């Protein structure tokens, strides 16, 4: 009997120990990746992370930066002459020839779908003047986006430089930025692209290496990567309903399943809460802008769990108008901002606008028109 009591006490103690162990957030997601992150496109909110800010080699997901810089150059319809240096690029290739002429747009398709290192060098030389010059542009753009733990040394991600690295979070920031561009969205999500091939009787036909476009019905695009030192890297995007997600994994042996697991977690646990709708704001205690309405141009959507929905609040901060506002005709001004809080922490904001419409002074014609309409109104009404 004593033995049974001791066993029961022991089991109770063990149970209490496990109950009081702090549970890690998102423990339900098991990913193979050394670093991983899942963010929501609209707000940039991190929904899941694992060593997301650790610097690592990134391999060919580097080419997301190469692609967006090529697109933003405004030269996609221009013809590029392929150099010897581009043809000699090691690793994956679309097999360009020295002196070959090809549209920059087709080079970007070859870059994103087939991960051509030759296309990366050709793009870099054309857009940046040289590979080194293009690397400078890459780092300038990274700084602009806020990729504070990133440094680019080449346009393709090969392990030919020691100071070429990023983090899962920084690559998510880059993808969030790139996905604001419609052309990038289209290219990233294209499954098959054909391009003229002047060297052969047949055209190029490039199938996208991103298998998640076929494996997961909500996938909308992305970029694969692999080198011996970086191992498997992957960036993908997915959309379900009104929620757009971005997933990044670095050094992930089972990256396809990692991404599906993260997406399923994000779509199941979070909903997009419409915190503020586009249009007029009816704000009480508004001493500055009483005559004309205040409004916002863009609605605020924020991803939240069912438990968080009741923790979302909005505060409004209005600026005091400048003296010259009254004399400016039909002048739209930023009057302040609406700030969204989640459990007391500011998470997002949007500008509040004010339209100043001063009364027009009536000319002689309008004055006589008003008198005429007044007289006619008297006659018609009695």
CB 25 within 8 A of CB 3: no
Q: Is 317 annotated as a binding residue?
A: no
Quick one: tokens of 344? Answer: 């007391």
* Residues 6 or more apart whose Cβ sits within 8 Å of residue 302: 42, 43, 45, 272, 273, 275, 312, 340, 342, 347, 348
Dihedral of CA atoms 26, 30, 36, 38 in degrees, nearest 10, equals: -50
Distance, CA of 73 to CA of 67 (rounded, Å): 10
Distance, CA of 305 to CA of 274 (rounded, Å): 13
Active site residues: 60, 63, 115
Q: Please, what sign has the CA dihedral across residues 172, 173, 176, 182?
A: negative
Q: How do beta strands 279-281 and 331-342 pair?
A: unpaired
Distance, CA of 242 to CA of 320 (rounded, Å): 36
Distance, CA of 243 to CA of 265 (rounded, Å): 13
Q: 95: alpha, beta or left, given left = phi > 0 and alpha = psi -120 to 50?
A: left
* Residues 6 or more apart whose Cβ sits within 8 Å of residue 162: none
CB 294 within 8 A of CB 354: yes
* Residues 6 or more apart whose Cβ sits within 8 Å of residue 17: none
CB 63 within 8 A of CB 166: no
CB 357 within 8 A of CB 330: yes
Q: How do beta strands 79-81 and 101-103 pair?
A: antiparallel
Distance, CA of 208 to CA of 4 (rounded, Å): 64
Question: Which residues contribute to the annotated binding site?
Answer: 223
Question: Which residues contribute to the annotated binding site for substrate?
Answer: 223
């Amino acid at each position: 009997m004593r033995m049974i009591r001791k066993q029961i006490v022991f089991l109770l103690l063990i149970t209490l120990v496990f109950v009081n162990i702090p549970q890690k957030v998102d423990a339900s997601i098991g990913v193979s990746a050394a670093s991983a992150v899942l963010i929501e496109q609209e707000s940039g909110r991190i929904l899941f992370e694992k060593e997301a800010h650790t610097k690592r080699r990134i391999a060919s997901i580097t080419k997301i930066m190469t692609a967006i810089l090529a697109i933003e150059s405004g030269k996609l319809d221009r013809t590029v002459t392929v150099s010897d240096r581009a043809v000699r690029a090691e690793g994956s290739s679309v097999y360009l020839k020295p002196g070959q002429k090809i549209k920059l747009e087709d080079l970007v398709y070859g870059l994103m779908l087939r991960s051509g290192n030759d296309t990366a060098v050709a793009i870099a030389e054309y857009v940046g003047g040289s590979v080194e010059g293009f690397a400078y542009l890459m780092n300038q753009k990274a700084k602009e986006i806020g990729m504070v733990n990133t440094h680019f040394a080449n346009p393709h991600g090969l392990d030919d430089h020691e100071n070429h690295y990023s983090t899962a979070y920084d690559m998510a920031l880059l993808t969030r930025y790139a996905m604001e561009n419609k052309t990038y969205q289209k290219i990233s999500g294209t499954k098959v692209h054909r391009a003229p091939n002047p060297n052969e009787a047949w055209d190029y036909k490039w199938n996208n290496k991103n298998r998640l476009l076929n494996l997961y019905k909500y996938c909308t695009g992305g970029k694969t990567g692999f080198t011996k030192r970086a191992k498997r890297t992957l960036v993908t995007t997915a959309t379900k309903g009104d929620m757009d997600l971005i997933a990044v994994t670095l050094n992930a042996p089972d990256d396809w399943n990692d991404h599906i697991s993260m997406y399923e977690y994000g779509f199941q646990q979070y909903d997009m809460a419409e915190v503020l709708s586009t249009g007029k704001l009816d704000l009480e205690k508004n001493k500055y802008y009483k005559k004309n309405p205040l409004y916002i141009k863009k609605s605020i959507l924020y991803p939240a769990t069912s438990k968080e929905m009741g923790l979302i609040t909005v505060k409004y901060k209005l600026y005091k108008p400048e003296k010259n506002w009254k004399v400016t005709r039909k002048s739209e001004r930023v009057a302040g901002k609406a700030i969204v809080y989640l459990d007391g922490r500011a998470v997002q904001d949007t500008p509040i606008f004010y339209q100043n419409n001063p009364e027009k002074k009536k000319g002689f014609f309008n004055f006589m028109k008003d008198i005429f309409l007044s007289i006619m109104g008297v006659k018609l009404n009695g």
